[in-house]
Amino acid sequence: MRIAYLHQYFRTPEMGGGTRSFEMGKRLAARGHVIHMITADCAPKPGAPKWRVEQIGGMTIHWTPVRYENKMRLPARMVAFLLFAVRAASRTASIAPDVIFATSTPLTIAIPAIMAKRRTGAPMVLEVRDLWPDVPIALNALRDPISRAMARWLEMIAYRSSARIVALAPGMRDDIIAKRIPAERLTVIPNGADLDIFGPDVTRTEKLRESTPWLGSRPMVLYAGTIGIVNSVDYLVQVAAATWPLDSEIRFVVAGTGREEQRVRDLAARLGVLDRNFFMLGEMSKSLVAEWLSAATMSIALLTGPRIVWKDAVSNKFFDALAAGCPVANNFDGYSSQVACEAGAGIIIDANDQAVAAAQLVRHLRDEDWLTSAGAASLALGRGQFSRDRLAGELEEVLLEVAVQDGGLKHGDSTLYQESA
């Protein structure tokens, strides 16, 4: 198949951030499909051309310069979304794909996909990573009735224009079905564990710990992700402060950046934990995150806000921890939390009382039997239920089915999936 894969915020492992599209696209290319990734260069150099094309991971990557930062306000973000949509629509149509695969967020990714669908006749598959606009409405990011109505309209147009919809969690699927989208058009393909990147590695664990004097052999809790409003990293600062009198050896490490980074740093300094038992290391490449995760005693995921924000949480840090065989802790009772607890791979810590959360962490971090058992359960999930290779096969099957049934499959052989399975 020739697949136009639309993802505005595509990232390679060297760039850091979420790499689901890279990992899925790379595996689809390895199975014999032609992948054209349409994406934005979010930090373009002055005078950058309208399009830059390169080969990465067996895929053809089409970059267009559209500046974007997490710190941008909503109006600036909307300009970036729409500029990318206009350029991506034309580029996608020029590829003449068998199928158009658009992954959100933002949901505005549906605009170029729908436009290209109408120009080429190729069917469209939409991937929903979180429920938009439900989340920004719940967070009051979309405040006025007109913006909310337009967002709801775009949401329904996107769903109805899609031959199939891929949801990342069962709860997302159920919420979309509740919006009168036929259940048979929905498939759940969760995030996956990248064992080739994050698999357990004793050598790199020992090397990192030995080269980091403030860490050494001490227990370490790692948060690797965005430092944003809904991530409640300030909560982790308070947990670190509450942990110090209980166990001064435990280290809390934050790897990431975001609009709340300075505020979190200031709070840590004010509470006296910055560079004492709480360390902020900034944004890292995927490979460097893998080193720190390999050395971590426990990985932690944090979310706050309305239930819609965390109930279907499928954060990369959770699945990376599974690949590393690292026990996990969450401060919310969502989809990933339930998966971990049911498998014996993790715990849910108190979201409202940092002293209680600190005691929970100390108890588990000092329980060697539990750490061994939880680590093994975590790795079993990564190798089995959430294996990226297996999930890529499920995505291939969806795309091939749509290309054959809805588009006629102009480029390729419908037996590719069976031959590669």
Between vectors from CA 98 to CA 92 and to CA 101, what angle results, nearest 5°? 60
Note whether 332 and 310 are within 8 A (CB). yes
- Whether residues 42 and 78 fall in one domain: yes
Instruction: Tell whether the torsion through CA atoms of 157, 160, 166 and 168 is positive or negative.
Output: positive
- Whether residues 181 and 220 fall in one domain: no
Among 378, 324, 309, which Cα is nearest to 347's? 378
Mean pLDDT of 319-348: 96
CATH number, domain with residue 369 = 3.40.50.2000
The two three-digit tokens of residue 309, written as one number: 């924000």
pLDDT of residue 183: 97
The more confidently predicted of residues 237 and 201 is 237
Q: Grade residue 315 by pLDDT with cuts at 50, 70 and 90.
A: confident
Q: Which domain holds residue 33?
A: 2-192+387-413
Kindly tell me the burial class for residue 178, based on how many C-beta atoms sit within 10 Å of its own C-beta (0-12, 13-18, 19 or more).
Answer: exposed
Mean pLDDT of 235-260: 97
- Whether residues 63 and 147 fall in one domain: yes
Mean pLDDT of 99-123: 94
Note whether 215 and 207 are within 8 A (CB). no
- Whether residues 253 and 307 fall in one domain: yes
Q: In the predicted model, is pLDDT for residue 420 greater than 80?
A: no
Instruction: Indicate the DSSP class of residue 306.
Output: S
| Residue pointed to by tokens 């979310």 | 303
pLDDT of residue 396: 98
- Whether residues 15 and 51 fall in one domain: yes
pLDDT of residue 410: 65
- Whether residues 37 and 82 fall in one domain: yes
- Tell me whether residue 318 is in a domain: yes
- Whether residues 205 and 278 fall in one domain: yes
- Whether residues 316 and 396 fall in one domain: no
The two three-digit tokens of residue 359, written as one number: 């005691």
- Whether residues 181 and 283 fall in one domain: no
Q: In the predicted model, is pLDDT for residue 17 greater than 50?
A: yes
For 344-375, what is each residue's pLDDT tens digit?
A: 999 999 999 999 999 999 999 999 999 999 99
The more confidently predicted of residues 92 and 142 is 92
Instruction: Indicate the DSSP class of residue 45.
Output: P
Q: Grade residue 141 by pLDDT with cuts at 50, 70 and 90.
A: confident
- Tell me whether residue 420 is in a domain: no
- Whether residues 325 and 346 fall in one domain: yes
Mean pLDDT of 235-244: 99
Q: Grade residue 69 by pLDDT with cuts at 50, 70 and 90.
A: confident
pLDDT of residue 418: 34
- Tell me whether residue 418 is in a domain: no
Q: Which of 69-78, 107-116, 163-172, 252-261 has the lowest mean pLDDT?
A: 69-78
pLDDT of residue 414: 47
Put the strands of the sheet holding 124-128 in their side by side order. 52-56, 59-65, 34-41, 2-6, 99-104, 124-128, 164-167, 186-188
Residues facing 61 on adjacent strands: 37, 54
Domain tally, the chain: 2
| Max CA pair span of the chain | 66
- Whether residues 27 and 82 fall in one domain: yes
- Tell me whether residue 182 is in a domain: yes
Mean pLDDT for all residues in the chain: 92
pLDDT of residue 411: 61
- Whether residues 67 and 153 fall in one domain: yes
